[in-house]
Structure 1
Amino acid sequence: MAGHSKWKNIQHRKGRQDALRGKIFAKLAREIYVAAKQGDKDPANNTKLRLAIAKAKAQNMPNENIERAIKKAAGGNSSEQYEQITYEGYGPGGIAVMVEALTDNRNRTAADIRHIFSKRGGNLGETGCVSWMFERKGLLVLDRSEVNMDEEELLLLALESGAEDFETTEKAYEITTAPEKFEEVKQALEEAGLTFTTAEVTFIPSNKVHVQGEIIKDVFNLIEALEDHDDVQNVYTNFDIDDDELARYV
């Protein structure tokens, strides 16, 4: 899961997540609104809405923002209609890129995404060209400095509650689950007093492409441009970078 976790670390180092917090909250609110609009307004009866709320809370989105998005969907007065579209393509160095968008104008968004790819050394491909390289998994990331138990105890708790994999990095513990086990594992860890920096069902690459040198900057520029687009909700990639290379370019 190098592409996912390292990109999160890069964002923190560059201060991008704080700088873009308002935009992040707006995108999360849109995701919650669409989930509530398309299904039950009660998270207990709407899995998609529960997952959207879990993702928002992991980003420290205020409860009032979450409630406002659900009430907006329940009100029925909004004329906003969003369509979920996934774009697939290749970036610099041959990395695979998947982009999930929520848009009210399919033609505008498609043209924008194509332009971003072509301007930054990538190319937009056909549906299915890279999605086979990714697996849908639940991902729970914990800041090691905030975990109130030792690693062995956490590992045992995660596995006993149904996790598939457990990985330790320099600053975090990363726990992966089958999508259907995500909420069960998350709840077990929460009951143990743990909180997450990331809690979502996401796409994790099954194979990775190593990038180095100047291509690293090109990869970062493409991902940043995609994430900055108002209609883009998530960007998934399969790049991997050595830590010493990462320190040199960030």
Structure 2
Amino acid sequence: MAGHSKWNNIKRRKEAQDSKRAKIFTKMSKEIFAAVREAGDDPDQNLRLRMAITKARAANIPNENITRTIKKANGQDQSVQYEEMTYEGYGPGGAAVMVKALTDNKNRTVADIRAAFNKNGGNLGENGCVSFLFNKEGFLVVDREDIETDEDTFMLEAVDAGANDVDYDNHGFYIYTAPGDFEAVKGAMERTYHFSTAEVTMIPETKAHLEDEHARKMLRLIDTLEDNDDVQSVYHNFEAEEEQMERLEVSP
């Protein structure tokens, strides 16, 4: 597994989120709203809500905003209804892309997502065309500067906590868990370590390494999709080495 590439993908995603704070607030509020409508307002009984609240707090969304959204979702007003949709397709160079959306207008959302693919050298496919290339896993990241212990000790602690796999590079440590073990592993490890990323996500089984031309279009596709208010998550198997990412960032 290419650690530099993995770190750059994570770093780039975090930077993109920081530059779109208002959109992150909107997306997190929609996820909290949908979670409450799905399984109630008790985070102890509603795993989806508990994870949404954790992610919202990590994005520095004020507690009063979270509480207001939960109360709104609990109200009797049925004028707002969000439907979960998953879209799959191929990016430039054949990279696999999955898009998770929460929308109150499926026609609008699919049209926007299809246009994003078409304008950036990709194409929207049928459901199932790329999902088999991804596994749902818990994923936790500890930045290297936040760790004082050695690699072997950290890896043993993670495995003892229930992790399926642990990887590391010069930038940080990467913990992978079964979805059902995510909270237990996070709870055990966060007593000692601070996570810069902690989520249940879709991890690709294979990676797509693209030439610069396709890689540049792939980055634009990801940006366009993430900029859409209806899109909650974008998963892909595009992986670039650190040198390529630096080259693309300075290229016009």
Q: TM-score, normalised by structure 1?
A: 0.92
Q: Where does structure 1 lack aligned partners over 5 or more consecutive residues?
A: none
1:68-87 CA distance string (max 9 Å, x none):
22222123336210000000
Counterpart amino acid of 1:140?
L
Task: Name the residue aligned to 2:56.
Answer: 56
Q: Distance in 1 between matches of 2:221 and 2:52?
A: 25
SS of residue in 2 equivalent to 1:202: strand
TM-score (structure 2 length as normaliser) = 0.91
More displaced, 240-249 or 90-99? Answer: 240-249
SS in structure 1 opposite 2:34?
A: helix
C-alpha distance in 2 between matches for 1:99 and 1:235: 5
Q: Is the CA contact 2:8–2:242 (under 8 Å) kept in the aligned structure 1?
A: no
Q: What per-residue deviation string (whole Å, max 9, x for no partner) do you get for residues 100-152 of structure 1?
A: 00000011111111111111100000000000000000011122212354433
* SS in structure 1 at match of 2:219: helix
8 Å contact 1:90–1:96 — kept in the other structure? yes
For residues 164-194 of structure 1, the C-alpha deviation after alignment (integer angstroms, 9 at most, x for no partner) is 11111332211110001001001101222x2
Partner Cα distance (1:195, 1:74) in 2: 33
Aligned to 1:99: 99
Q: Residue 33 of structure 2 corresponds to which residue in structure 1?
A: 33
Q: What secondary structure sits across from 2:206 in the alignment?
A: coil
The equivalent residue for 2:109 is 109
Asked if the contact 1:59–1:197 (Cα under 8 Å) also holds between the matched residues in 2, the reply is no
User: 1:88 is matched with which residue?
Assistant: 88
Q: Separation in 1 of the partners of 2:143 and 2:57?
A: 15
Match of 1:68 in 2: 68
CA distance in 1, matches of 2:123, 2:170: 34
Q: Residue 12 of structure 2 aligns with which residue?
A: 10
8 Å contact from structure 1 (residues 139, 175) kept in 2: yes
Contact 1:134-1:206 within 8 A present in 2 as well: yes
Distance 2:33 2:129 in 1: 30
48 and 116 in structure 1: CA distance in 2 versus 1, 3 angstrom threshold: same
Q: Distance in 2 between matches of 1:5 and 1:128?
A: 28
> What's the counterpart of residue 218 of structure 1?
217
- 3-state DSSP class of the match of 1:88? strand
Offset, 1:209:
1.0
| Superposition deviation, residue 5 in structure 1 | 4.7
Q: Distance in 1 between matches of 2:99 and 2:40?
A: 26
Structure 2 residue matching 1:173: 3-state secondary structure = strand
Q: 1:68 to 1:190 in 2, by over 3 A?
A: farther
Identify the residue that residue 144 of structure 2 maps to in structure 1.
144
Q: How does 1:110-125 map to 2 (within 5 A)?
A: 110-125=110-125
Q: Which amino acid aligns with 1:249?
A: L
Q: Retained in 2: the 8 A contact 1:142–1:195?
A: yes
Aligned partner of 1:7: which letter?
N
The DSSP-based 3-state class of the residue aligned with 1:229 is coil
Identity of aligned residues (%): 50
Q: Distance in 2 between matches of 1:65 and 1:149?
A: 37
The answer for unaligned runs of 5 or more in structure 2 is: none
The offset of 1:17, in angstroms, is 2.4
Residue of structure 2 in register with 1:198 after alignment? 197
- For 2:10, the aligned partner's letter is K
Aligned to 1:230: 229
